Copies of this chain bind each other. A is one copy, B any other.
Amino acid sequence: MWLQTSCELKFVTDFPTPFIFMLRPRSGAQQWIASEEYLLYPTVPAFEFTDEYGNLCQRLVAPPGDFSLSTSARIMTADSIDQEPGGYFVDIQNLPDNVLKYLLPSRYCESDRFGEMATEITANQQPGYDQVAEIERWLHTTIRYEPGSSFLPLSAIEVNLQQSGVCRDLAHLGVALCRSLSIPARIVVGYLYELEPMELHAWFEAYVADRWYTFDATQQFKRGGYVAIGYGRDAADVAVYNQFGPAVFPIKQEVTVELV
């Protein structure tokens, strides 16, 4: 399906403020960016680099006063997402080198503390895809999904205590549970068509049967319409923006996703 996505951010700052944005989706195996726009008001010098996960990041210093970004893109993405019930667990020794980092605990995914819980949840499942699908199901029925956004990400431990969270928080718990079973898992931030209410979204991927599969505990039914902006170990790696110096909050954050 062809989607038109947009994200507009507006800040008011008192000081020159360094930002790192991650707002440019990349063409890749799963999506093709046919056209794209990335506007800054006022125009300031911006420098783009690729981070260690392959994400495009934009660095700039916002001048004091109003500062806004307006990004939009026309993107072809899959109508449905791939599923692979029964997909096998990949033995550690057969994982590609660059997937191994997704086995380790990270800031918001303390997988080193979830081994027992993950084993219980997936007790009756075959190792691999079915374990992850069961984790997704468990999250969907157990952890209350509270749509919308929150500024402070919760770690898997915190989400588990609180038994509720935004999309990003549920993804953190999903990732931590997978990793504690030695299944590589990562977070994805991006857009989802017909998300209610419309916002930036986050979900997770697990590496089974020799590739990454998409999981999203916030949705009742599997469907397509996902557009990835960034991949990482957890929210610390895929912040839509990182800002340095005295804290600045967006006074406007508007997201749209429309079928073309």
Q: Are B20 and A182 in contact (CB under 8 A)?
A: no
**From residue A25, how far is it (CB to closest CB) to chain B in Å?**
11
Which label, helix, strand, loop or mixed, suits the secondary structure of the A interface? mixed
Residues of B within 8 A of A109 (CB): 107
Number of copies: 4
Q: How far is the CA of A236 from the CA of B97 in the complex (A)?
A: 16
Identify A52's interface contact among B36, B52, B152, CB under 8 A.
B52
**From residue A137, how far is it (CB to closest CB) to chain B in Å?**
25
**From residue A80, how far is it (CB to closest CB) to chain B in Å?**
15
Q: Are B103 and A105 in contact (CB under 8 A)?
A: no
Q: How far is the CA of A57 from the CA of B49 in the complex (A)?
A: 16
Q: A182 and B245 in contact (CB under 8 A), knowing A46-B27, A93-B18, A107-B105? A: yes
Q: A93 and B59 in contact (CB under 8 A), knowing A38-B34, A43-B76? A: yes
Q: Mark A25-61, 1 if CB is under 8 A from B, else 0.
A: 0111100111111110001011111111010111111
**From residue A40, how far is it (CB to closest CB) to chain B in Å?**
8
Question: By CB atoms of chain B within 10 A, which of A37, A105, A107, A109 has the most?
Answer: A107
Q: Are A46 and B32 in contact (CB under 8 A)?
A: yes
**A74-121 contacts to B (CB < 8 Å):** 76, 91-93, 97-98, 100-101, 103-107, 109-110, 112
Q: Are B27 and A47 in contact (CB under 8 A)?
A: yes
Q: How many residues of A contact B (CB 8 A)?
A: 53
A169 CB within 8 Å of chain B: no
A242 CB within 8 Å of chain B: yes
Residues of B within 8 A of A28 (CB): 47-49
Q: A50-B50, A57-B100, A106-B106 are in contact. List 16 more A-B contacts (CB 8 A).
A: A18-B92, A27-B58, A28-B48, A32-B46, A35-B35, A36-B37, A47-B93, A49-B97, A52-B101, A59-B92, A59-B93, A105-B236, A106-B236, A107-B107, A107-B109, A107-B110
